[in-house]
Amino acid sequence: MATTQQTHSATTRQALTNYRILDLSRIWAGPYCTKLLADMGAQVIKMESLSVYDSHRGPINPARGIAAYPDGEPGEEPWNRNGWFNMLHMSKYGITLELTGEAGKRVFEELVSISDVLVENFRQGSLARLGYTYEELRRFRPDLIYVSMPAFGNTGPWQKYLAYGIGQEQLSGMAHMTGYPGEGPMKSGINHGDPITGSHAAGVVLAALRHRRRTGKGMFIDVSQQESAISLIGGEVLAYQITGVEPERRGNRSPHFAPHNAYPCAGEDRWVTISVTGDQQWRLLAGILGGSALASDPRFATTVDRLQRQDELDELISDWTKHREAYEVSRTLQEAGIPSSPVLRGPDVLQDPHYRARGTFVSVNHRQVGSKMYPGIPWKMSATPGQVRWPSPTLGEHNHQIYGDLLGMTVKEITALEEQGTIGTKPTGSRII
């Protein structure tokens, strides 16, 4: 697999090379937005507080054995070794800055003045409470594009509430639909709202940059993380308005096709998915499972019949799959024209020949983690392909580079900020909030 370039100069032309993003966001939604922009070549400056740094770096004194750390070992500086953080912040510069003092505010204002876009996903109004409304920030950069991503947006009765992705599925109505028949709501297992919001925000940043190129004007962009999650259930909302019937919890089953499920295979926790989308596919599957007798069984003749007898079908198919290897089942069914796929685990994905051929994962050598595999660029563009340019920054790694090279500060001035505690490379707080 490819090994990412470890210098800070790009070897290929990238779409957003001439744009600078000041990234104040944290955890997932905002950082995912800026990750996508960094993947396209933008110069992203990740700014953190020493007292309350990005929570994805993890606590200052974590327990050993947590999977987020390489080999479950937090190390001497665990805030630089967390896998979640190091996945989301590749190709970004990392600086620290405290905004509670005048020195930090002056530096922040200089950073704003040289940035095209500012992204934050704080509690609504956090920057404004520090004196930085959008209008105030425009004093330093009149054509600034400001992306604000609070949980519930910047208006409405819930605007002041704090929330994270873990609650978005419940408040969006998504969790009401997920789960198994006859059981209660079930969280999906991952916080879908975060990466969806990040994708929405990245897309609208591109639109705003295009607008500014045509008009010379920046804009304030209000992105609600909660509404991004709600946008995923548009079909179900429309169906309810038309029929008055609420979506049913159905696990892995489909409301339109049967059989349609994940089935156990030989080995520990190995599964294969099978989806029969029509009568002809059913007859093909039935012939593989039980020959002509099953294929002609009137109980399963039509889709309507099969939808009414899914328990029987799932038991029949499971009895066949559980003695067979998942890839074997999938190959057999695909060759017969039946949609099927093995359920890949993490190691399977890393070793899959298709992903290896596509360069889906890249080897990135982080100075405190070593060489590990991370997801690379998920799209392939001919002229501006994008690339993972360097590892995620350690806390404050690029302070001297950004403050010196970009802002023109002297070594003496930077040292003074370090001595004041305005910038640094070691956390000053006792925990992460």
Q: Which residues are part of the catalytic machinery?
A: 194
Residue 276's alpha-carbon distances to 52, 258, 305, in angstroms, are 51, 6, 13
Size (the chain), residues: 433
Tell me whether residue 304 is exposed, middle or buried, using C-beta atoms within 10 angstroms of its C-beta: 0 to 12, 13 to 18, 19 or more. exposed
Neighbouring CB atoms inside 10 A of 379's CB total 9
Q: Any bridge partners for residue 342, and if so which? A: 272
Residues 8 and 41: their CA atoms lie apart, in Å, by 11
Q: Which amino acid is at 80?
A: N
7 secondary structure, DSSP code: S
Is the link from the previous residue into 259 a cis peptide, with omega within 30 of 0? yes
DSSP string computed for 77-89 = -GGGT-HHHHHH-
- Concatenating the DSSP letter of every residue in 39-65 gives HTT-EEEEEE-SSS--GGG--SSPPTT
H or E element, residue 419: helix 411-420
Q: Read off the tokens for 234.
A: 């548009």
Strand partners, 371: 365
Q: What is the dihedral of CA 163, 50, 391, 86, to 10 degrees?
A: -30
Structure tokens at 374: 């991370």
197, amino acid identity: T
d(CA 248, CA 254): 10
